[in-house]
Amino acid sequence: MLKNIILMGPPGAGKGTLAKQLKTAFNLTHISTGDMFRENIKGGTELGLLAKKYIDDGHLVPDEVTIGMLKDRLAQEDCANGFLLDGFPRTLPQAEALEKLSKEINRPIEVVVNLDCDNQELIRRISGRRVCKNCGAPYHITTMKPKVEGVCDLCGGPLYQRADDNEEALKVRLDHYVHDTKPLLDFYAERGLLENFNSLMGSQELFNQVSTFLNK
């Protein structure tokens, strides 16, 4: 099975949703740089205060900060049996740093799963997304409702709307995706690592297709 995996795609494509399904099914370590920043913001750390200035407006956190945080995380023991990178890399310097680091620690990237989705659907998903404050599980107010309104099915935590899930910040996030992150698809295609999936299908069908591919 392929196990050191990068999940790519624009904001709202379903990276976090798919990562949580794959993590459970295949016992992989889920590393979301967005979640790591949000944890730091919640904890009021120095890193969190710095990251918040960028994240709330939809901008990328500077490369040196993000790369340093990822380097520490990827070298940890729980990544030895396989990991899912969700939200990293997002720029060419991040992709180059990851390539170097993964060789150094002998944890090479085996596949890049890219989720395609059109802008209209991304806006629909982001504007209706609610997230669990405790465990980060994602929901949608019309298409992925929790059993009890406002309450996480998995841990009973309260659901909230992310500060950057508004129209203005989303426009900035989509611009960063097009200019900074989308070019990385060529970077990974040249290395024979890229595998594209259409994320317009429902989350269960997407999970089934990606799982079948990873198990080949």
Active site residues: 15, 90, 129, 162, 173
What number of helices (H) and strands (E) belong to the chain? Answer: 9, 8
Under 8 Å between Cβ of 168 and 180: no
Q: Is 52 in the site for ligand AP5 (CB under 6 A)?
A: no
Only segment of 50-58, 73-81, 95-103, 185-193 that touches ligand AP5 (CB under 6 A): 50-58
What gap in Å lies between CA 10 and CA 195, rounded to an integer? 15
Distance CA 111, CA 181 (A): 17
Closest of 122, 205, 24, 147 to residue 139, by C-alpha: 147
Give me the 95-124 binding string for ligand AP5, x by CB under 6 A, dash otherwise: ------------------------------
Residue 129 touches ligand AP5, criterion: CB under 6 A: yes
4 binds ligand AP5 (CB under 6 A): no
Angle of CA points 96, 106, 67, to nearest 5°: 35
Helices (H), the chain: 15-26, 33-43, 46-55, 63-74, 92-104, 119-127, 167-176, 184-190, 203-214
Q: How far is the CB of 139 from ligand AP5 (least distance, A)?
A: 5
Q: Is 136 in the site for ligand AP5 (CB under 6 A)?
A: no
One residue of 82, 87, 112, 194 binding ligand AP5 per CB under 6 A? 87
Q: Which of 6, 8, 22, 61 binds ligand AP5 (CB under 6 A)?
A: 61
Enumerate residues 146-175 that contact ligand AP5 by CB under 6 A.
164, 173
Contact positions toward ligand AP5, by CB under 6 A?
A: 9, 11-17, 32-34, 37, 54-55, 58-61, 66, 87-88, 90, 94, 125, 129, 138-140, 143-144, 164, 173, 199, 202-203, 206
